[in-house]
Structure 1
Amino acid sequence: MHISFLIHNAYGIGGTIRTTYNLAGTLAEQHDVEIVSVFRHREDPVFAPGPGVRLRHLVDLRKDSPGYEGEHPDYERPATVFPAAEGRYKQYSALTDRKIAEHLRGLECDVVVGTRPGLNVHIAQQARRGPARVGQEHLTLSTHKAALKLALRTHYPRLDAVTTVTEADARTYRKLMRLPGVRVESVPNSVPAPPVRPADGSGKWVVAAGRLAPAKRYDLLIRAFEKVVAERPDWRLRIYGAGAERARLRALIDRLGLYNHVYLMGPAHPLDPEWVKGSIGAVTSSLESFGMTIVEAMRCGLPVVSTDCPHGPAEIITDGVDGLLVPTGKADAVAAGLLRLINDDALRRTMGQAALKGSARFDPAEIAGRYEALFTDLVSRGSLRGSLHRTRGALLSGAIQAKDASRAALRRKGAA
């Protein structure tokens, strides 16, 4: 199959970008695969596309590039196709409307895959007839604004399939969205096996990673770690990532006197070498659409203590087997979960081994296989619909020709 992914910016960094590269690279072992980036703002992508994956862009935002389009008059005009309610309206414009439309109408492929709601709307409206149209949901339906949900309910019926990263979100889509004839499937994100030896459980470090954003609740983790330090001052916490919350978290660390125990490490790529320095992963989010960092930590042999927040963690962690799920928003519960693993070396190592084994189900080969089965079925169904359409057309044409011939014969008979 020829499979084409449409993504916001393949030259940036983030979970959707990582998982798209993982999936495309694995599918490219058997199929013709391309990633089409709406925007390009740097010369080289952060993540390597992998052998066999073509990468191209639609709008060039590199100021030193001869193809720079950031000052094009249409770039200043608002988009009318990409839904403003998606929250990216300042980046999308009349220029992107036109560029995406031209791309989709001329696209020759078997499957076209959108990777965010606004791009899925473009595909639903503008992709030519023929390719199977698939819209991925990398967040959750419940986090979208009412105006965006209305736009999706209006346009998504033209898609062939919608995929979510959790079964919980797939159930929400099936229950709340009226999408007759559209397949709604849950397919999790993929995380490759790390190119490092897994953690052995001996390092006295708890590791967390992700955007320093309010939803990640790193303030909760820091407060929980104050309770950990009171009992086990030999353990420390590293938090990797960048974001608007950094100054506030830094102030909290200083105020609690944890500057020798809690470290804001900044962003790191790759993260695998940092995970394996630790022995426990920690996630304290109030909401997760999936939980990529949970899987990343588990693939490095770390059991994860995570809040049991909506959607992701409970579909990844088997509580008490390869990690611990604790109540959301409770610092005491987070601290108790961490101390349970910190104070029991055998349990920590056993859960780490279980995490390593269980997380193999998120390997790109496994996830690509599920997508390949979905794409194959959609393409075959599309071919069948096309064949039936052509057959009906031929039968109708034959009937019209026969009717015309009969009328002509009657006219000749009357003339005689």
Structure 2
Amino acid sequence: MSRDIFIVSNSTDELGGVTAWMYQTARLFTEQGHRVHTIGIHASERKMALPERPGHPVTALYPAHPPTPWTPHGIRDRFRVPSRRREAARVAEKRRAVARLSGLFAAARPGAVVVVTQVWAMEWVGEADTTGLRVIGMSHESYDYSRASHRYRWIRNHYKDIDHWLVLTEEDADRWAGDGMNNVGFLPNALARLPHLPSPRTARTVASIGRLTDQKGIDLLLDTWALVAPQRPDWRLRVYGTGEDEAALRAQCTALGLDGSVKWMGRTDDVEAALAGASVFVQSSRGEGFPLALLEAMAGGVPCAAFDCAPGVREIVRDGQDGLLAPAGDVPALADRLLRLTGNPRLRDALGDRARSGVQRFSEPEVGRRWEELFAFLER
């Protein structure tokens, strides 16, 4: 049956994997005959290139990131009139945003579904009127990464009473269930497309694609490359992405003497072309969910070396079969995997070919079928 589906995220245009997932999934739902509306809590400053005509309505509740709640420090602070006025304005603006969200939900047809992609956005959905709608919450990171952050408390507070909530792997679902979350299931991210041709794997280039933030571990990658570069002087590392850590990372690169072998490529709106120009892909994240960049690299036939930082990573990359994994945060081990891949073209070709074939188990038709099964289950 055709449903109204609302996909709610922190932002509808922020540069990053969740935004890419949001538009990919909206397209998938639309192609399956559903009526989709993507909603962001706010518009983002660091924007992602989006489809000119996405094929569905797109709404941002705030024009910019809303202010955080005011927490007075001490008795004197409680009586500061300007702070109290700003807090009153914030509360009033949030009330208007929630009312707008409730209005969008109220216009939906019977059987509508709300998919909340990030736990922060659930704060607004939780205050909105969702009468008659099924609410699905999601987490795009591993159990361990959530457990070590403030988001763990948010998940426990906001997700325990909704209709269903999804993580990306069965291993993480089992861990959350063991933690008392009895409404949890799992569903992987989908591979958007398979490039017509794989990378020729002829360029002496290693590629990294991701935001320049602590989570993505580019500082660890630079430390890794400092061990690889002296033994592979004719290879180059291309770092694609932007982020708040860029200045510090560039300084680290210079301090390590890597300016001649590291190329800062900035953001790219053509990931497929970036991967086609690489012979090896590396992912150095401290934490992940089910990384789309890893899926895309493997779909392009680019052999991958990655930190085994989450169940989603080791579900995508089968170590020694279609890629190489290193223990999370182990810089010498990741350097060893890169040295093996950069030094052995036969290994690159074998792993790249197997990766391109094996990653198709996460195809859009298969993931779309599982979404339909979930929607039908929630209607029982």
With normalisation by structure 1, the TM-score equals 0.77
Counterpart code for 2:378: L
- CA deviation vs aligned residue, 1:255-286 (integer Å, no higher than 9, x gap): 22221211111111121100110111101122
TM-aligned CA deviation for residue 21 of structure 1? 1.2
Partner of 1:77: 89
- Is the contact between residue 79 and residue 96 of structure 1 (CA under 8 Å) also seen in structure 2? no
Partner of 1:101: 102
- CA deviation vs aligned residue, 1:234-263 (integer Å, no higher than 9, x gap): 111101111122122212222222212111
| Alpha-carbon distance between aligned partners in 2 of 1:57 and 1:75, rounded to the nearest angstrom | 25
- CA deviation vs aligned residue, 1:318-363 (integer Å, no higher than 9, x gap): 0001110112222221111011111211111010011111111222
- Is the contact between residue 19 and residue 191 of structure 1 (CA under 8 Å) also seen in structure 2? no
| Alpha-carbon distance between aligned partners in 2 of 1:200 and 1:45, rounded to the nearest angstrom | 28
Structure 1 123/251 Cα, relative in aligned 2: closer, same or farther at 3 Å? closer
Partner of 2:302: 302
Q: Percent identity?
A: 28
| Alpha-carbon distance between aligned partners in 1 of 2:149 and 2:239, rounded to the nearest angstrom | 34
TM-aligned CA deviation for residue 56 of structure 1? 3.0
Partner of 2:58: 56
Counterpart code for 1:30: Q
Structure 1 223/31 Cα, relative in aligned 2: closer, same or farther at 3 Å? same
Partner of 1:156: 159
- CA deviation vs aligned residue, 1:272-323 (integer Å, no higher than 9, x gap): 1001101111011222122222112111111110111133311110000111
Structure 1 106/128 Cα, relative in aligned 2: closer, same or farther at 3 Å? farther
Instruction: Give the secondary-structure state (helix, strand or coil) at the position aligned to 2:225.
Output: helix
| Alpha-carbon distance between aligned partners in 1 of 2:52 and 2:268, rounded to the nearest angstrom | 19
Partner of 1:230: 230
Partner of 2:141: 139
| Alpha-carbon distance between aligned partners in 1 of 2:354 and 2:8, rounded to the nearest angstrom | 36
Partner of 2:74: none
Counterpart code for 2:212: L
Partner of 1:115: 117
| Alpha-carbon distance between aligned partners in 2 of 1:122 and 1:93, rounded to the nearest angstrom | 8
- Is the contact between residue 223 and residue 331 of structure 1 (CA under 8 Å) also seen in structure 2? yes
For structure 2, the 5+ residue unaligned runs are 65-84
Partner of 2:370: 370
- Is the contact between residue 213 and residue 243 of structure 1 (CA under 8 Å) also seen in structure 2? yes
Partner of 1:385: none
| Alpha-carbon distance between aligned partners in 1 of 2:166 and 2:299, rounded to the nearest angstrom | 23
Instruction: Give the secondary-structure state (helix, strand or coil) at the position aligned to 1:361.
Output: helix
| Alpha-carbon distance between aligned partners in 2 of 1:327 and 1:275, rounded to the nearest angstrom | 24
Structure 1 322/61 Cα, relative in aligned 2: closer, same or farther at 3 Å? same
Partner of 1:277: 277
- Is the contact between residue 120 and residue 134 of structure 1 (CA under 8 Å) also seen in structure 2? no
Choose the corresponding residue for 1:14, options 3, 6, 16.
16
Partner of 2:170: 167
- Is the contact between residue 215 and residue 285 of structure 1 (CA under 8 Å) also seen in structure 2? yes
- Is the contact between residue 283 and residue 306 of structure 2 (CA under 8 Å) also seen in structure 1? yes
| Alpha-carbon distance between aligned partners in 2 of 1:295 and 1:253, rounded to the nearest angstrom | 27
Structure 1 361/74 Cα, relative in aligned 2: closer, same or farther at 3 Å? farther
TM-aligned CA deviation for residue 105 of structure 1? 4.0
Instruction: Give the secondary-structure state (helix, strand or coil) at the position aligned to 1:201.
Output: coil
- Is the contact between residue 6 and residue 38 of structure 2 (CA under 8 Å) also seen in structure 1? yes
Counterpart code for 2:245: E
Structure 1 41/297 Cα, relative in aligned 2: closer, same or farther at 3 Å? closer
Structure 1 153/231 Cα, relative in aligned 2: closer, same or farther at 3 Å? closer
| Alpha-carbon distance between aligned partners in 2 of 1:77 and 1:312, rounded to the nearest angstrom | 41
Partner of 1:199: 199
Partner of 2:293: 293
Instruction: Give the secondary-structure state (helix, strand or coil) at the position aligned to 2:31.
Output: coil
Structure 2 residue 337 is matched with structure 1 residue 334: no
Structure 1 37/119 Cα, relative in aligned 2: closer, same or farther at 3 Å? same
- For this pair of structures, how many residues does the alignment match? 354
| Alpha-carbon distance between aligned partners in 1 of 2:371 and 2:289, rounded to the nearest angstrom | 19
For the pair shown, the structure with the greater C-alpha radius of gyration is 1
Instruction: Give the secondary-structure state (helix, strand or coil) at the position aligned to 1:158.
Output: coil
Structure 2 residue 64 is matched with structure 1 residue 34: no
| Alpha-carbon distance between aligned partners in 2 of 1:201 and 1:147, rounded to the nearest angstrom | 41
| Alpha-carbon distance between aligned partners in 2 of 1:15 and 1:164, rounded to the nearest angstrom | 15
Structure 1 58/246 Cα, relative in aligned 2: closer, same or farther at 3 Å? closer
Instruction: Give the secondary-structure state (helix, strand or coil) at the position aligned to 1:312.
Output: helix
